[in-house]
Structure 1
Amino acid sequence: MLDTKTIKKILILRYRFIGDTVLTIPFIKNVRKHFPDVQIDILVSPNSGEILEGNPDLNNIFYYDNSKFHKYERTGNEASRRKGETYTTYNSFIDCAKGLRSENYDLAFVLKRSFSSALLAALSGIKYKVGFNTELRSFLLTHPVKYDKNIHELDNYLNCLRVIGIEPYRYSPEIFPTDFEKSKANGFLVRLDRYKPKVLIHASSAHPYKQWPKRYFAKLMDYLFKEYEAQFVFTGAKSDKLVYEEIIKLCENRKKFKFLDLCGLTNLRECYSVYKGLDLAISTDSGNAHLAAASGIPTYVLYGPTRPEKWLPIGRSVFPLRLNQLLPCQPCDVKVQCSHLSCMKLLTPNFVFHNLINNKLIEKKRLTV
């Protein structure tokens, strides 16, 4: 039996994608609420963990670089770091286990579902290990938790608290950019007309099956410009720049509307700061959809092979867009080979646009304030 009163140091393990990391934030807040005086650290990936820098509910952030692929390049700008913040990066499984073992943690929440993550917690010598019963790894955990594929991912995380007698609250994610990052974001936004709607178009995604056709984004942008004189903002890695260049070429009104291409120019907290100054986000099922939702702006997310009931971003105004009548193969959770991608192709620009204009949150008056 776990006596929570004896816990002095806690480690949370969730090293993967941007969206996963954003969904971890409400979990972290719950841990801090119930353990106000203990040390709470987290192990995350370098490509997504910077979202957590500056979070007052964390004491230390450890980076585990188990992949050389970084979706976002870290800026390395010391002005974006808070005074006194330090971060440790482990580049191998063994080095990571040794480093964590030296910390003498009492409790680990293994939110990552892989066998290797539970093994890492076990090799780190942590007494209590709470995590999901996936990949035949329950024997490595002291408190295995049933993983439910049919509920939201955040609710699965929160079940890891319920198993030790804590009743959690479903907080919204909070991100804490520095003053420097906020100022940098504002410097970008002043390039746009403050009296016309500013719309985020996020076309990229970690998996090609979740991407909407470029010509569809172009058509939707033409609709939004014609109806609202919308301006557009693009964010992402340097490698995403070509995607938006191709979309712009397909727009009939490309010579008339304003757009701001920030691909490769921001870190994730700067992205979040930019989003807070926008009126609307339209995104694929991606990490940036989670950032946009967390910023508080109305966020529309395009779903095809994946399930909004499981992966919908957490925020004040978040709306999933998918076919009214699902296809027999939908959702496949991108676990099968697909030659037609009908679930995304049948989600037409006209369907998406009419869903936007039928929502009172984005009526013309709302956008032009």
Structure 2
Amino acid sequence: MGKSHNAHTILAIRFSAFGDVAMTIPVMKQVLEAHPELTIVFVTNRNWEALCEGIPRLIFYPADLKGVHKGVPGLYRLFTALRKAHPGISAVADLHHVLRSRILRSFYRMAGIPVAVIDKGRASKKQLTSKDNKVLRPLTTTVQRYRNVFRLLGYAPSDRVPQREQHLTGRRKIGIAPFATYREKTYPLAKMEAVIRRLLEYPDVDISLFGGGKQETAQLTALAGKYPRLEVVAGRYSLAEELAIISGLDLMVSMDSANMHLASLSGVPVVSIWGATHPYAGFMGFGQPEENAVQIDLYCRPCSVFGNKPCFRGDHACMEQLAPERVTERAAAVLGLR
């Protein structure tokens, strides 16, 4: 699909999940950087506007899919509101390819607007996560899949990955995000506590704890009460404020979860911990080197793409057998701690 001369505004759709939405941001920045004549209107969850702040020509548009935009009538309301607010949209990039995004894009298609859709590579992901006859190989990354959608519309992104200069002098600020949506990709809290204890043996290290929700905040608050130089960020700041705090870190230690992607937005190095999931599925943080992914090799890994399937072995070996020393050694290496 070629780019027409009057194509200046693209609608990009990605409703959820938070980490996947965060992964779209650096790609859209690359597209806008390569095409200064272009504007992108990004429709996503109404609570995530902070992800788009400070990016020229990236316009946030809130979707309330549990409220006014619920169901087919709600999605039509969203379409008509978008058409009124941004009548110049001349192409649609569906970065989600789920029922709701298909319905929204179909309204545009019926109006004669060209549409490009992400290829999720479901067949190859099924082979990667299969219990039998597993094909363990790196797949096309999610970031590259997003890039391909814009390329189909005639807007190839730039290849530039912003590099943040690290001046590792004085105190080191480490963020630790010990939780994930599913148990199968969450490092046991007792083991993460061992990581924290070891990192705090370095006198020039300060640690901020990230998470979400009342239960996680309560667990982190209890943990912070046991050690010095621990600060709880979870539950105390807006998303915009959390992003600002993350941007000031020297390192984030995270699961395969949203905080890995939020840190990647600011070019913060991430030591990521992988259990049931695997970097080969394509969800590594933007610009993060694979050597910073801490994991163990097991015949059963990965058993799912998103970590949402119960451990069929029943012992969660991928996390239980992962020694805390592996995490602390990698973190110390990235920070140059001796």
Deviation at 1:302, TM superposition (A): 0.6
Q: Point out 4+ residue stretches in structure 1 off by more than 6 angstroms.
A: none
The corresponding residue for 2:15 is: 15
1:290 and 2:261 correspond: yes
1:279 and 2:278 correspond: no
Residues in 2 aligned to 1:246 and 1:126: alpha-carbon distance in whole angstroms: 56
Cα gap change, 1:165/1:259 in structure 2, threshold over 3 Å: closer, same or farther?
same
The corresponding residue for 2:147 is: 158
| SS of residue in 1 equivalent to 2:299 | coil
- 2:104 pairs, out of 79, 103, 120, with 120
* Structure 1 gap segments, 5+ residues each: 69-88, 137-147, 175-193
1:98 and 2:80 correspond: yes
Equivalent pair of 2:261/2:286 in contact (CA under 8 Å): yes
Equivalent pair of 2:3/2:155 in contact (CA under 8 Å): no
- 1:131 pairs, out of 108, 113, 117, with 117
| SS of residue in 2 equivalent to 1:221 | helix
| SS of residue in 2 equivalent to 1:330 | coil
1:304 and 2:275 correspond: yes
Q: Between the two structures, name the one with larger relative contact order (CA 8 Å, sep ≥ 6).
A: 2
Cα gap change, 1:126/1:21 in structure 2, threshold over 3 Å: closer, same or farther?
farther
Deviations 1:325-349 (A, max 9, x none): 2332424222532233221222121
The corresponding residue for 1:241 is: 217
Equivalent pair of 1:293/1:299 in contact (CA under 8 Å): yes
1:209 and 2:194 correspond: no
Residues in 2 aligned to 1:134 and 1:281: alpha-carbon distance in whole angstroms: 28
The corresponding residue for 1:180 is: none
| SS of residue in 1 equivalent to 2:201 | helix
Residues in 2 aligned to 1:31 and 1:292: alpha-carbon distance in whole angstroms: 20
Deviations 1:296-337 (A, max 9, x none): 3331011112222311112466721111x2332424222532
Equivalent pair of 1:202/1:288 in contact (CA under 8 Å): yes
The corresponding residue for 2:128 is: none
- The normalised TM-score by structure 2 is 0.79
Deviations 1:139-162 (A, max 9, x none): xxxxxxxxx992110000111133
Equivalent pair of 1:212/1:344 in contact (CA under 8 Å): yes
- The normalised TM-score by structure 1 is 0.73
Q: Give identity over the alignment, percent.
A: 21
The corresponding residue for 1:263 is: 234
Residues in 1 aligned to 2:284 and 2:205: alpha-carbon distance in whole angstroms: 25
For residue 226 of structure 1, what is the amino acid of its counterpart?
Answer: E
The corresponding residue for 2:126 is: none
Cα gap change, 1:64/1:20 in structure 2, threshold over 3 Å: closer, same or farther?
same
Residues in 2 aligned to 1:265 and 1:317: alpha-carbon distance in whole angstroms: 31
For residue 362 of structure 1, what is the amino acid of its counterpart?
Answer: L
Aligned length: 306
Q: CA RMSD in A?
A: 3.0
Cα gap change, 1:219/1:34 in structure 2, threshold over 3 Å: closer, same or farther?
closer
